[in-house]
Amino acid sequence: MRVLVTEPLPGKGIDLLSNRYEVTVGQRGEFDRESRLLETIGSYDALLSCLSNPVSRKVLEAGQNLRIVSNFAVGYNNIDVEAAKELGILVANTPDVLTEATADCAFALLLGVARRLRDAESQLRNGGFDGWHPFGFLGTELYGKRVGIIGMGRIGRAFARRARGFSMQIYYHNRNRLDPQDEQQLDAQYTSSIDELIESSDILSLHCPLTPDTKHLINRDRLSRMKSGAIIINTARGPVIDEPALASALHEKQIGGAGLDVYEKEPEVHPDLLTAPNCLLLPHIGSATTETRSRMSALAASSIISHLSGKPDHAIPALVFQRSKPE
Please list the active-site residues.
237, 266, 284
Q: Distance between CA atoms of 233 and 206, rounded to whole angstroms?
A: 6
Q: Distance between CA atoms of 111 and 136, rounded to whole angstroms?
A: 17
* Residues 63 and 41 sit within 8 Å (Cβ to Cβ): yes
- How far, in Å, are 11, 199, 203, 257 from residue 228 at the CA level? 44, 10, 11, 10
- How far, in Å, are 116, 144, 179, 186, 294 from residue 167 at the CA level? 20, 6, 22, 11, 33
Q: Distance between CA atoms of 265 and 249, rounded to whole angstroms?
A: 19
Q: Distance between CA atoms of 294 and 305, rounded to whole angstroms?
A: 17
